[in-house]
Structure 1
Amino acid sequence: MKPSPTALSGPDVQASLPGLQVSLSRVGVTGVEKVIRILDDTGSEQLFYATLECFVDLGPRQKGAHMSRFEEVVNEAVGEVILGESAFRAETLAERIAEIVRDRQEALRAEVTITARYPEHKPAPVSGIPTQEIYTLYGSAVASAAGTRRMVGVAAQGMTACPCAQGVLQGRAHERLTADGFSEEEIERIFASVPVATHNQRGLGTLHIGIPEGLDITIDAMDLVAIVEESMSSEIYEMMKRSDEGTVVEKAHSRPRFVEDCVREALRGALDRYTDLPDGVFLSARQENLETIHQHNVVAERSGLLGELREELASGEHLAHHTSMREWLDGRR
């Protein structure tokens, strides 16, 4: 005799009280993988490989979250948001998932993070041959009683040339040219025409912009990519002819930048691009350079509200506190 469906299902253990009635900060799922297909404006299909994380807070009288509901909500939101858009916006999808998850799990707060890898096609700088570049797109959202705040970010690679080593080599070249009888004017003309060698790094730049609750603002991810690539000594290309390689290397050596310079240039690019955004908008820039003459890498970053950055630029004074991404997402700033 087969057991009844009721007997199979048994009691709802998740509805019982926990042994220790204390709330939990984050409960959810990680590593949820989706391949998202959308049509662009030309009718061509574009694929995004996305990984999602979904969390809710858990009250002291809740034994556990309904884990299967996370997957249900992700599938539902992907169909609802993506099919209605001609452009994939990770933060919009994260926003919708967070709002549904919060409602379904009866939570005070829900947080969703999406990381998507996607291709863009662009021409090489001289030959114009088409090359496919892979970028990373980030979307985050936190839904609470105050509303939903969302964040969009990108990661892009580039090339940096070290100013310090270049200065050393230029000093040595100056000594040799002087010893060979070149005048100061001639040496200056040589250095202006021929970039001096230095060691290079492959740079990994990230840029995030966070939109507070209630603001209807859309940020184009490709604008962020352009800011990140411009912040480094030169952009890079997966496929190049010799003429392209020469142009990229020459450009990088004519714009030597430290890792700190890249972060400041990314901040400058964002502040110049988004002059109309209010002070409560969040901004974060990070740069990691993969060293070639050292075994370590170097990192620089800055985060804060636009109001904090504008105040520091106006006053020239160091602010003791920079709002972090965690603080902003948690609604503490």
Structure 2
Amino acid sequence: MEDVQKGQANIAMPIDRVGVKGLRVPMIVRDRESGTQHTVAEVSLSVDLPAEFKGTHMSRFVEALEDWSGDLDYNSFRTLLDDIVVRLQACSAHVRFVFPYFLRRKSPMSGASGLMDYTCRVDGELKDGKLTFTLGADVPVMTVCPCSKAISDEGAHSQRAEVRIRTRFDGFVWLEDLIEIGERAGSCSVFSLLKREDEKFVTEAAFANPMFVEDVVREAAKGLEDHPQIHWFKVEVESFESIHNHSAFAAIESTDG
């Protein structure tokens, strides 16, 4: 049958990335406490496309994913990217996995146990045989406004914020490491299950530790900077303001790649 994709493009212009997105697959990730954790990832796969080709072969992305082991680690991730490069006859390949990661958290006073879910991601680019591997986690925290606390006779406005961490590193880094760095950066952690004594503790702990969004991003950046394996990071904090019709945000990216 005719291979239309290999025909000449009407406009001879190279494409940086072309591929498929919105695929969902079961996946196994490393869990510091249990060894492994089963989850479901939303997947994007893409390659570069030279100017002379009309299109790429979309079905080959799905075939590569079908043949992938589903066990997420550096070696299997590299194997998937290598396979995509070969199947699509490309110079570069890109893969993204976005998935929920679950940790059981105990409430601070009652000890009540509840599952917290964190949106995590792995991004990979294989170009000219070199793999760039980026691991990230989005971590919810609570913040209390220092200015509001200083100028108010009673109380201060507080809100939930999200610490979005992206890292590159040598060796191995646990997702739990990134989550813990994010949680320590806020006024207080958030929990899925709180009894009355827990609510009292969380509220008072947060009000004793007021943080601007600028404070949170600096705390997170310092934690990432101090991690012995991490050699590059980007962290953004978004504060979902409770008294404004907008969010506040701050971001820091390290200079080393």
Q: TM-score, normalised to structure 1's length?
A: 0.72
The answer to whether the aligner puts 1:154 opposite 2:154 as a matched pair is: no
* Structure-1 separation of matches of 2:42 and 2:167: 20
* Structure-1 separation of matches of 2:33 and 2:184: 28
Partner residue in 2 for 1:60: 51
Match of 1:198 among 151, 156, 162: 156
The correspondence of residues 37-52 of structure 1 with structure 2, limited to 5 A, is: 46-52=37-43
Deviation at 1:32, TM superposition (A): 1.0
The correspondence of residues 177-326 of structure 1 with structure 2, limited to 5 A, is: 197-211=155-169, 217-274=171-228, 277=230, 281-306=231-256
What are the Cα deviations for residues 43-88 of structure 1, in whole angstroms up to 9, with x where unaligned? Answer: 89843121111111101222211101111111222x2x51xxxxx5
Which residue identity does 2:234 align to in structure 1? S
Distance 1:45 1:300, change over 3 A: closer
Query: Contact between 2:32 and 2:176, CA under 8 Å: does it hold in 1?
Result: no
Deviation at 1:272, TM superposition (A): 1.8
Identity across aligned pairs (percent)? 28
Runs (5+) with no aligned partner, structure 1: 1-9, 83-87, 173-195, 307-332
Query: Contact between 1:155 and 1:205, CA under 8 Å: does it hold in 2?
Result: yes
* Structure-2 separation of matches of 1:264 and 1:40: 27
Distance 1:39 1:262, change over 3 A: closer
* Structure-2 separation of matches of 1:292 and 1:148: 42
Query: Contact between 2:165 and 2:178, CA under 8 Å: does it hold in 1?
Result: yes
Partner residue in 2 for 1:163: 146
Match of 1:116 among 99, 103, 113: 99
* Structure-2 separation of matches of 1:41 and 1:297: 33
Deviation at 1:24, TM superposition (A): 1.1
Which residue identity does 1:142 align to in structure 2? E
Distance 1:43 1:126, change over 3 A: closer
Match of 1:104 among 87, 93, 107: 87
* Structure-2 separation of matches of 1:43 and 1:233: 29
* Structure-2 separation of matches of 1:36 and 1:145: 27
* Structure-2 separation of matches of 1:218 and 1:39: 10
Deviation at 1:15, TM superposition (A): 2.5
The answer to whether the aligner puts 1:137 opposite 2:120 as a matched pair is: yes
Which residue identity does 2:103 align to in structure 1? E
Which residue identity does 1:222 align to in structure 2? E
Query: Contact between 1:94 and 1:113, CA under 8 Å: does it hold in 2?
Result: no
Higher share in strand: 2
Deviation at 1:244, TM superposition (A): 0.8
Query: Contact between 2:20 and 2:44, CA under 8 Å: does it hold in 1?
Result: yes
Partner residue in 2 for 1:309: none
SS at structure 2 position matched to 1:154:
strand
Which residue identity does 1:29 align to in structure 2? V
Deviation at 1:97, TM superposition (A): 2.5
Q: Which runs of 4+ in 1 moved over 4 A?
A: 37-45, 91-94
Which residue identity does 1:61 align to in structure 2? E
Deviation at 1:304, TM superposition (A): 2.7
SS at structure 2 position matched to 1:238:
coil
Deviation at 1:19, TM superposition (A): 2.5
What are the Cα deviations for residues 296-316 of structure 1, in whole angstroms up to 9, with x where unaligned? Answer: 11111111334xxxxxxxxxx
* Structure-2 separation of matches of 1:56 and 1:197: 53
Partner residue in 2 for 1:24: 15
* Structure-2 separation of matches of 1:39 and 1:232: 26
Higher share in helix: 1
* Structure-1 separation of matches of 2:175 and 2:34: 20
* Structure-2 separation of matches of 1:93 and 1:248: 41
What are the Cα deviations for residues 177-217 of structure 1, in whole angstroms up to 9, with x where unaligned? Answer: xxxxxxxxxxxxxxxxxxx7211010111111124xxxx52
Partner residue in 1 for 2:25: 34
